[in-house]
Amino acid sequence: MRLGVLDIGSNTVHLLVADAHPGGRPLASSSHRNVLRLMRYLTPAGAITEEGIAALVDAVALARDLAASENVAELLPTATSAVREAANGAEVIARLEEALGQPLQVLGGETEARFTFLAVRRWFGWSAGRILLFDIGGGSLEIAAGDEDLPDFAESVALGAGRMTLAYLMDDPPGEKAVARLRAHAAETLAPVAKGLKGMAKPDHVVGSSKTIRSLAKLAGYPRPGWSGIQRMVLPRQALGQWIPRLARIPAAVRKELPGITPERTVQITAGAVVLHEAMKAFGVNELELSPWALREGVMLRYIEELGWA
């Protein structure tokens, strides 16, 4: 069966198409991304502007048509924090469902963390043991931990790279004082979350997912043979921390020339680096491994489980 997951996030509208069959892992056949950066379309009251809604509707309609052209049998549309938390979220959801011609699943933050954790667990495999996961989106940071398919700890905090850029790092370049303010805010927000994880077993693997973390790993990380013999990208906290002052001093137009920093990530990559560094510090993490699977794969895997194929 050909499945499509449409992820309507804070930064992009992303369609992942994959072929699935009983007893096997889904095999991606295509991926289509439309960069919107919805945080640009928020009013002071937290509503998505008409311009932003129109851009969303156009992106969703395009993804719907692409899914049909690729013979997708089942389209699984989901929305995360930007739509979930918008002051006019109900109106936005209604407009998107009209464009899709089907219901839209709006994921809560904890559900988002659980779906992402499921994907990472399946990617690493059962022998990986206990996993601690960080996933940074445009609007939120998801944290999850556990040694089963579903985590026994899952939290979502409003520390997304796009959200923190708008709140703290709007100057270009932002400078070290603005970065220091964001550091303090992130540390304060993360402290009670880290406290909630104390007393639980130490993770065998700390994993990062999401495009922001993968970009940072290309910038400050390095490849090494993994525990299963497969080469994995590793991101050390020390190397990440050394890059943050440099990112804060250079304008966005120059950041896109750096390794791994795509044009759509140039504006918010500094905030993403600060948030990830503070998360690693709060949880006592010296380095993390990268997972290529994240939320979209988790949504697909959950659907496959519901079919009774897993």
Same domain, 89 and 219: no
Give the residue-averaged pLDDT of 20-41: 89
Same domain, 152 and 272: yes
301 has pLDDT over 70: yes
Same domain, 153 and 94: no
Tell me which residue of 144, 150, 156 sits closest to 200, measured CA to CA.
144
| 18: in domain | yes
The pLDDT score that the predictor gives to residue 82 is 85
Residues of the chain with pLDDT > 70, as a percent, come to 98
What are the pLDDT digits (tens) for 41-52? 999 999 999 999
Q: What is the CATH number of the domain that holds 53?
A: 3.30.420.40
CA dist 140 and 10 (Å) reads: 9
Q: Mean pLDDT in the chain?
A: 94
Amino acid sitting at position 124: F
Q: What is the CATH number of the domain that holds 161?
A: 3.30.420.150
259 has pLDDT over 60: yes
| 300: in domain | no
| 310: in domain | no
Number of domains within the chain: 2
Same domain, 120 and 194: yes
CA dist 266 and 151 (Å) reads: 32
The boundaries of the domain holding residue 257 are: 110-295
Give the residue-averaged pLDDT of 17-30: 90
The pLDDT score that the predictor gives to residue 263 is 83
Q: What are phi and psi of 17, to 5 degrees?
A: -110, 130
| 180: in domain | yes
**For the ranges 64-73, 79-88, 202-211, which has the lowest average pLDDT?**
79-88
User: Which residue, of 106, 133, 149, is where some domain finishes?
Assistant: 106
310 has pLDDT over 90: no
| 222: in domain | yes
* Residue whose tokens read 């209604």: 94
Give bridge partners of residue 31 from the DSSP assignment.
16
Tell me which residue of 157, 266, 144, 160 sits closest to 215, measured CA to CA.
266
32 near 14, Cβ under 8 Å?
yes
Banded pLDDT at 228 (limits 50, 70, 90): low
Helix, coil or strand: residue 244 = helix
* Residue whose tokens read 């137009």: 253
| 305: in domain | no
The pLDDT score that the predictor gives to residue 24 is 79
Tell me which residue of 1, 86, 17 sits closest to 299, measured CA to CA.
17
Same domain, 122 and 266: yes
Same domain, 128 and 140: yes
Same domain, 157 and 94: no
User: Which residue, of 76, 106, 136, is where some domain finishes?
Assistant: 106
Same domain, 154 and 183: yes
User: Which residue, of 106, 135, 154, is where some domain finishes?
Assistant: 106
Same domain, 96 and 121: no
* Inter-helix orientation angle 89-100/50-69, to 10°: 30
Same domain, 120 and 93: no
Q: What is the CA radius of gyration of the chain?
A: 19
Bridging pattern class, strands 205-209 and 131-136: parallel
